[in-house]
Structure formats: structure tokens, C-alpha cells
Amino acid sequence: MMKSKGYLGIDVGSISTNVVLTDAAGDVLFSAYRRVDGNPIHSVQGAILDMKGNLPDTLEIAGVCTTGSARTLIGAVVGADIVKNEISTHARAALHLHPEARTIFEIGGQDSKVTLIRNGVVVDFAMNLVCAAGTGSFLDSQAKRLNISIEELSERALLSRDPTPIAGRCTVFAESDMIHKQQTGHHQNDIVMGLCQAMARNFLGNVCAGKEILAPVILQGGVSANKGIRRAFNEALKTEVIIPRHNMVMGAYGAALIALRTDPPATRFRGFSLCDREIATRCFRCEDCPNRCEVIEIIDHGAPIGRSGGRCRKWESDNQGGVSP
């Protein structure tokens, strides 16, 4: 019996591991969003194991693409055919679902990005990698301060009729200002909506500084699930931001679509047995030049299957996958 083809995209960031499997038409067959919990390898193994339990016997993995901050590491672990950065994968997914898109906001737990699209092509982008005030961790920390869940914060923000102005340039200042507003009697619903507005304002003022933001605007990433953030962007931009299908896993979805488009003649995927293997890492410093790179070596059953961290290609293995920016 001839098996149907599936294409796997894996996006591993600082907070979450996202896995998407598509068929040959680009339709999603399986998706998973789970916490990294400090161990990206174990997180990916768990997600792939979940996927295995939901696949028919008639489907085989025909291509794999990894993305995210751990893309090189995970590319070696799973046997990726191609490795891509988050700008490429998020843009691919957004344009696949919304070809008319001109701006993409992608906000995750620890970083945020804006990508400008013109005539279906990425022409510019910017990232925030320094301050947490424009990321999901900003809202998480303030929700904990208020002793409510992030889901409750999302719902309460929609109930606000008079949002409280909150200083949002820095998480430290935001918390101090929020405490002051609580003590002076502002309603909690208004405070949490003020926090959402502060985050949107920080993103637009810092990450998007100097960028021409044109509609349609796509909002994706983990923070796109927050209804208060959606409202804040809608009000700030005076337009309705689009929340796409698969908004929580768009990086992985775009990676799967890239694997589909590449359609390698023979995949490097190492098989589902990788979920049962004890894969470890070890670090050593290369002394061959003044760079003294800290090289991470991925070890499976005592043998290296890939390396990352070098500034040149000296330590990269042939079986590490098709690495590209």
C-alpha cells in the first residue's frame, strides 16, 4: 500500500515547543503547543510522541523543518531537512492563510517581532530581544502580581470601561505604577486593560519604531490568544487585527509548509524511535582560533549526532540537516 506524505514543522522557543504536521495539500493533521520547561529536547520528544499516537499507519514523514531559537539543536536531534529562522516561517504561514497580509506582529513569551510584507515578500523586520515589557512574560508577571490567571486577565480586560494608564516602558516601572493605581482605588478590570494597552504601546513604540504599519495586520504567537491585547491593538491601530487559524503555532505551521515546499527526495528524519532515546548534550571550548567558541555537542548513545555554537562550520556534522538562515 502506498503511504501518504506528511510534513513536520517544529518551533522551539524560550517558553514553548510547537509541532505541526500537514498533509501534501498543506492542511493541518496535528498540532501541539507545550511548555519547554527548561529542556527543549525532552519537550520535543514528548510532542512527537503525542503526534505519533494520532497518526494513521498509512502516513509517513516526508520532510522536516525546524525553527525558533533552538532550531539548530532540535534540527540535529530530529534529523531536520531544513532549518529556518522565525521570520521566514511566520511569514510563510501568515501568507499561506492571508495572502493579502502587509504586516505581521508575532509576540511570544520572551521576544516579539514585526515583519513587513509588500506584494507577498518580506521587505523588513525588527525584533525585541532585550526588554520583557513587550512580550508575554510582561503580562504573566503582572497577572501573578494580581493573583489571577493569564486567562482571567484576558477576560477582565474586556470588561474595562475606563482603562487605567499604566507606565509600560519597563516591567519594574509597570509593577510600581500598577501597585500605586491599586492603592488609589482604580478598578482591577481597568488596571489589567491598562496593562494590555501599555504592552501594545511599548510594542508599537519600540519594536515598530520607524516602520510603516499597514493593514491588514496579522497578530500571531502565544500572546495573540489574549483578548485584552487584541482590543489594545485594535484601538491603537484603529483597525481590526486578524487572528489567523493556528495562531498559537504559526512558526511550526510555516516550518511544515516550508518542508512541504522543499519536499526532499529522501528525508533525514530520524524516526519516532528518537522519542525513546536518551539524548544528551555536552559543551566544550574550541581552542583552534581566538574566537574560542563554546560548542554544544548533541550525543545519542555515546555518539555525536550534531553540533552547534561555532562561528564557522568546522564543527558542524554532515548529518545535521540543511542549515540555512
For the chain, list the domains and their CATH numbers.
Answer: 4-88+252-277+308-320 (3.30.420.40), 99-241 (3.30.420.40)
Unique residue bearing C-alpha cell 500571531: 220
What DSSP designation does 279 have? Answer: E
CB 101 within 8 A of CB 218: yes
pLDDT of residue 182: 85
Residue 238, sorted as left (phi over 0), alpha (psi -120 to 50) or beta, turns out to be: left
pLDDT of residue 111: 81
Q: Which of 112-116, 177-181, 246-250, 309-313 has the lowest mean pLDDT?
A: 309-313
Q: What is the mean pLDDT of residues 124-136?
A: 73
Reference 8, options 318, 252, 317; nearest CA is 252
Q: Which of 52, 51, 17, 50 is nearest to 248 (CA)?
A: 17
Question: From CA 239, how far away is CA 232, in angstroms rounded?
Answer: 11
33 compared with 170, residue with greater pLDDT: 33
The answer to whether the beta carbons of residues 146 and 290 sit under 8 Å apart is no
Q: Look up residue 286 and give its three cell numbers.
A: 574550541
- CA 147/CA 278 separation, integer angstroms: 38
DSSP 14: S
Q: What is the pLDDT of residues 70-95, one digit of tens each?
A: 998 999 999 999 999 999 999 999 99
User: Mean of the pLDDT values across residues 45-63?
Assistant: 93
Rounded to an integer, what distance in angstroms lies between the CA atom of residue 168 and that of residue 179?
A: 13
Is residue 222 very low, low, confident or very high in pLDDT (cuts 50, 70, 90)?
confident
Whole-number average pLDDT of the chain: 89
CB atoms under 10 Å from CB of 118, counted, come to 12
Strand boundaries in the chain, DSSP class E: 4-12, 16-22, 28-35, 59-67, 82-83, 103-107, 112-118, 121-128, 217-220, 279-285, 294-300, 303-308
Query: In the predicted model, what is the mean pLDDT of residues 18-40?
Result: 94
* Residue-wise burial string across 268-288, b where 16 or more C-beta atoms lie within 10 A, e elsewhere: bbbeeebbeeebebeeeebee
* pLDDT given at position 95: 97
State the pTM of this model. 0.88
Q: Which pLDDT score, from 0 to 100, does residue 233 have?
A: 97
